[in-house]
Structure 1
Amino acid sequence: MQNNHINYLEFQASDLGTIKQFYQNAFGWKFTDYGPEYIAFSESGLDGGFFKSDAEVKTGVLVILYHDNLAQIQKKIIEAGGKISKDIYSFPGGRRFQFLDPAGNELAVWSDK
């Protein structure tokens, strides 16, 4: 993994079983279940996941960057004009935060550190 590189893509879906079956059948992607609200996919060219949500899909994908020092990169994002939309939080496998760029695009940065 390299700092500042796109590392992961995240989509939302209201029915994880249906979406998992679709991508397995259509493209041969492999999945790992992380409880009832999250599935990760691999063998797609770039790893990613689907989180369970009944909200209307607006953006379709959350681009996730990697950085080994979340506090440091969060500070740089703010100094460059970005806004934190979801502060640093933990999840199984690491921690992350989400931010808005100056155009309003939402991205995330995660770390396994």
Structure 2
Amino acid sequence: MPVRADAPLGAPTWIDLSTSDMDRAQRFYGAVFGWTFAGAGPDYGGYVIASRDGRPVAGLMPKHPDYDGPDGWITYLHTADIDATLAAATEAGGTACGGVMDIPAKGRMALLTDPAAGFLGLWQPGGHRGFELFGEHGAPAYHQLTTRDYGAALDFYRRVFGWECETVSDTDEFRYATAMFDGDALVGVMDGGQYLGEDAPSDWTVFLGSDDVDKTIELIVDHGGAVVRPAEDTPYGRLAAVADPTGAGFNLTSLPG
């Protein structure tokens, strides 16, 4: 079981779902991935921690009634000094969505957008280290930013988070780089100029691991979810894009045998 104590600095360390239907989300993810759920406590606004095999993998929170955006997953990057990181992000062209929030006994968080409107979070761990299962069935396995401004995005994440990026492809048809952490490619950055809609912002996507992508897709559909892009074999495994019953999208990836 791939268990980790901490994510590398600058790498994804936590994911949570902002959902309009907490009960339905828990039924769905419980049925599809075997997640179990526990409330964070009365002081945490209905926040729920999802676990697999006794290890935290994700959070779920009720969507704020004043927020009219779609349900969706948020990726949080690990920082040791959230105030300094948020300041660096705004200096580099990002936009803070409010200030830093202290989460009692858990850590500190902030939300922001990068210069191409990619929405993401920052997490400075306290008592909560982030997802402890990684690269396992039903756990985060990879993250991808599909961006409207590829060059500006790479410059931003290198400058603010110290990413070391390797170019995978640099053609007009497919422009892609990976951010490397201790030799592992944990994040991909794709030039989405020809994929994103005219008014669509850049998009962070989480890939959840699956022992059998096709079987997981069947479970997703059986429990009210949808297939956004059918499963296909790629040089990086069998991949698919899906959505939960209220439209929150995520991807599936097969796991190394």
Same structural fold, with TM-score higher than 0.5 when normalized by the shorter chain: yes
Residue segments in structure 1 that go unaligned for 5+ positions in a row: none
Q: Tell me the distance in 1 between the aligned counterparts of 2:202 and 2:190.
A: 14
- Which residue identity lines up with residue 180 of structure 2 in the other structure? S
Q: Any idea what SS the aligned residue of 1:47 has?
A: strand
Please tell me the root mean square deviation across aligned C-alpha atoms, in Å: 2.0
| Number of the residue aligned with 2:19 | none
Mapped contact 1:93–1:112 kept (Cα < 8 A): no
1:60-112 deviation line (CA, Å, top 9, x unaligned): 21111011211111111111111101001233321200111111111110114
Change (3 A) 1:59 1:18: closer
Q: Any idea what SS the aligned residue of 2:203 has?
A: coil
Q: Tell me the distance in 2 between the aligned counterparts of 1:59 and 1:107.
A: 15
Mapped contact 2:148–2:202 kept (Cα < 8 A): no
1:99 equivalent in alignment to 2:242: yes
1:39-59 deviation line (CA, Å, top 9, x unaligned): 11133xx92211111234447
| Number of the residue aligned with 1:48 | 187
1:8 equivalent in alignment to 2:131: no
Of structures 1 and 2, the larger Rg is shown by 2
Q: TM-score scaled to structure 1, two decimals? A: 0.83
Q: Tell me the distance in 1 between the aligned counterparts of 2:252 and 2:208.
A: 5
Residue segments in structure 2 that go unaligned for 5+ positions in a row: 1-134
| Number of the residue aligned with 1:90 | 233
Mapped contact 2:146–2:202 kept (Cα < 8 A): no
Q: TM-score scaled to structure 2, two decimals? A: 0.40
Aligned residues: 111
Change (3 A) 1:92 1:59: same
1:39 equivalent in alignment to 2:183: no
Q: Tell me the distance in 2 between the aligned counterparts of 1:95 and 1:88.
A: 6
| Number of the residue aligned with 2:111 | none
Mapped contact 2:225–2:245 kept (Cα < 8 A): yes
* % identical equivalent positions: 21
